[in-house]
Structure 1
């Protein structure tokens, strides 16, 4: 379709954007898109908390992992597509808003999926999001002959896997569970296969900013959920001292997560498709861990509020310490490992292991985890100060 015809309908020819564009930042549409995911993440975190509190920790964690894959994968695919091909015309906006509608449908089905194993609503919400992406890739294939091969690979690959997701819901919950994992594997392999045709022109610094913003959104959801639960507990007037201590430790943990993630700029390290895949895929664990921290704090609050009937103090401790430790391990692996010294890495990893070890001493879990996070942050800051001094001296 010619540029003249497109302009008559208020459309822009979709093609690759300049991956070296100066001052590239997240668009208002991207920020709006992210906000909808807060609802889905909040639902997943709340149901993780309830599942652990009711004595179904293993099942709750597994279902949380599955739900969070759908949330993360849909968000990530749009983010990388937008980095390379955002036209910001009305059709692009409408297609993106359709994806947002899919997120809301998915969020509406989170409770049924995590509590009762009913995955139909979540599946349809996910499929709506993914088919909207198929539409975007087909538009690119029509618009840009040079990128047609990679666009068609994405469109065909995504559409094929959606057929598998839809067929799954006709079977029992057990079959749906076991078929989830191969379907997930096929999803993550689609970009690997598609990018072999041609690398899409995503913007490294834009991608780094988008991931950073999503971490902030996850932290905001975690702080809100934790604060609401703590405020309710304080208003009840019971265990006030313990609740205040938990609130202070929770703030330290959230601040530590923020500090560790935002201690360096990461755009320049995304210099190839290989590093892009590593960075993007590893964030699944990082995002899921941040999203689960509020659930851990709420389980600890349940422990403070009375004698739990369905879980032990160790379970409560692990529900908080494991997400914090997973976050620290992943942030070291993909962001800090090449930026701090071997000694600093050893201290950081020891602090990470100590966070989990604190779960074996439930009395000091929250305070101990907070102190370990402070140690990790201090290690990063010492490295940053030393590097700054060396740069000034040079």
Structure 2
């Protein structure tokens, strides 16, 4: 594709889903950096809410906030796999979305602390309208995908106007509107892809998901470092805190190993499987982010700074671990694993979930996950490929 001689713009035609050597661009990697900030703040707010004993409110706010983070990231990612031109206008619209993420991050605190979603919604709408501009641009050279691009643009615009209108609602009605609007956001791609169609590159998409998973697992490594820092300050229980740090590293490494074991690109062969893979990752991503918050809660319990007590406090990290393991097993591992793996991984997820009822729960959690990794080393994906 050659740029227009006047504006130096590349026609935004659908990209070849079989393009050889397609990989994440430096712009996409740059785009991901702002999500590190948003995810870190969301996890920190969840940690504080759980530590103060506001379990249900904390989980509810975390799910809503993380939806905004995840949905903005995912929509950009799937658009980029279909229409990335990497010209100056595409970059400008992407940077606008990055700015929206940073403003959204600043609104996470008020959402958790006061139930004030105004800043978060306004920033979210800015990001979404920047993407609408991209869809409208893509419609000019969309070819067979033109109908889908216009449905995306119209659907996203309508939902954003409803988000703005929701700010005028009283608190009681806002909660209901929030649920309805989340469903509406999810419905737009389903309608667009069923009516039209946009191409996606399996290797590119799954690489992008893998990179975002690494960002989220990085939050857990930060929690491990915090445990070591607290241990150096604490004279009464440094051994327990250092143990938490070591075991957090083991568990995080196990999550990485489990996630990258299967051939992910084979999980998105058609519309239904792509939908399941894309939407199902909400639970995997949210769980990875919440795991770090759970470790921070455990540190607070050990240092006497939490309203939670054992064994209940341990669920703050065992639930995210179980959701992550069971989620990636269902989405990407199950179709490519033999009976041994398909028996061991679900069992490992369930054992991790009930682990708080067993003495020394976190040590056993790490042992269970390490055992699952040993099985994955022993067995290989059914297609015989090493991943």
Give the C-alpha shift of residue 23 in structure 1.
0.7
Who is 2:267 aligned against?
269
* Paired residues of 1:340 and 1:380 also in contact (CA < 8 A): no
Partner residue in 2 for 1:380: 376
Matches within 5 A, 1:47-196: 47-196=45-194
Superposition TM-score, scaled by structure 2 size? 0.95
Q: CA–CA distance in 2 between the matches of 1:181 and 1:27?
A: 34
1:33 to 31, 34, 37: 31
**How far 1:321 sits from its partner (Å)?**
0.2
Q: Conserved in 2, the CA contact under 8 Å of 1:199 and 1:273?
A: no
Cα distance, 1:267–1:387 mapped onto 2, change above 3 Å: closer
Q: What does residue range 288-327 of structure 1 map to in structure 2 within 5 Å?
A: 288-306=286-304, 308=306, 310-327=307-324
Residue 351 (structure 1) aligns with = 348
Contact 1:328 1:352 in 2 (8 A): yes
TM-score, normalising length: structure 1: 0.94
1: CA distance between counterparts of 2:247 and 2:299? 12
- 3-state SS in 1 of match to 2:194: coil
Contact kept, 8 Å, 1:234 with 1:243, in 2: the verdict is no
Q: What do you get for the CA RMSD once the two structures are aligned?
A: 1.8
CA contact (8 A) 2:223 2:292 kept: yes
Q: Deviations over 1:270-293 (max 9, x none)?
A: 211221111100000000000111
- Superposition deviation, residue 233 in structure 1: 3.7
**Distance across 2 between alignment mates of 1:141 and 1:184:** 25
Q: What's the CA shift string for 1:58-87, capped at 9, x where partnerless? A: 110110001110001110000000001000
Q: Within 2, Cα distance between the matches of 1:297 and 1:239?
A: 16
- The separation in 2 between residues aligned to 1:249 and 1:145, in whole angstroms, is 53
The number of aligned residues is: 385
1:145 shift after superposition: 4.4
Cα distance between partner residues in 2 of 1:44 and 1:255: 22
Q: Is the 8 A contact 2:337 2:382 kept in 1?
A: no
Q: Distance in 1 between matches of 2:381 and 2:74?
A: 34
6-15 vs 16-25, greater mean Cα deviation? 6-15
